[in-house]
Amino acid sequence: MIRKLRRKLIAACMISLAVVLIVILGGVNVMGYYKVISDADAILALLNANGGNFPKNHGGQPEQPDAQPPPDPAPEDRKSPFGQPDISPETPYESRFFSVRLGEDGQALQIDTGQIAAIDEEEAVLYARAYSPAAVPAVFGGITGISSATTRQAA
C-alpha cells in the first residue's frame, strides 16, 4: 500500500512539474515571438519613413567634432539613436532587407537590394508586385510589411 501511494505521489509530482515547465517555457516563447514581431515592425516602419533606407544621422542632430558630449541622461530618458527604444545603432548592419518603390502603374521606380545578397533586382520587383497593396495585404515570411500607396519593403 505504501509503495502504491509512493508511485501515485511521484506521478502527481512529475505531472505537476511538467505542467509548470510547459507553462513557463510556453510563456517565454510567446513573449519572444511578440518581441521579434514588434522589432521587425519597428524596423520596417523606420525604413518606410526614410524611403527604404536607414537614416544617415541616427540622432537627428548635426555632428560637431569639437563639441562637448551631452550629459548622460537618466536611464528612463534614454532613447536609441534612431528615436525608438528597441532599435540599436547596430541595426543597419545586422538587418537584411530590400526595398522597391512602385509607381501607380506597377512599374519599379526605385530598387535597392544592397542589404541582401540572396535577392536580385528582378526577384525584388516580382516580390514587390506580388505583395503590393493592390494585390494582397502584406505578410512575407511571417513578418508584417509596412506599405504606403507606392512603397513596399519586405524583410
pLDDT tens digits for 46-100? 888 887 788 876 554 444 555 555 555 555 555 555 555 567 788 888 888 888 8
Tell me what pLDDT residue 137 has.
Answer: 45
Number of Cβ within 10 Å of residue 30's Cβ equals: 10
Q: Please tell me the predicted confidence (pLDDT) of residue 56.
A: 75
Over range 104-126, report the average pLDDT.
Answer: 87
C-alpha cell at 155: 524583410
Sort strands 139-140 and 143-144 into parallel, antiparallel or unpaired: antiparallel
pTM, two decimal places = 0.58
Least confident range of 15-29, 75-89, 102-116: 75-89
Report yes or no: 91 and 84 within 8 Å, Cβ to Cβ: no
pLDDT for 62: 45
pLDDT digits (tens, 9 = 90+) for 123-132: 988 888 888 7
d(CA 100, CA 114): 12
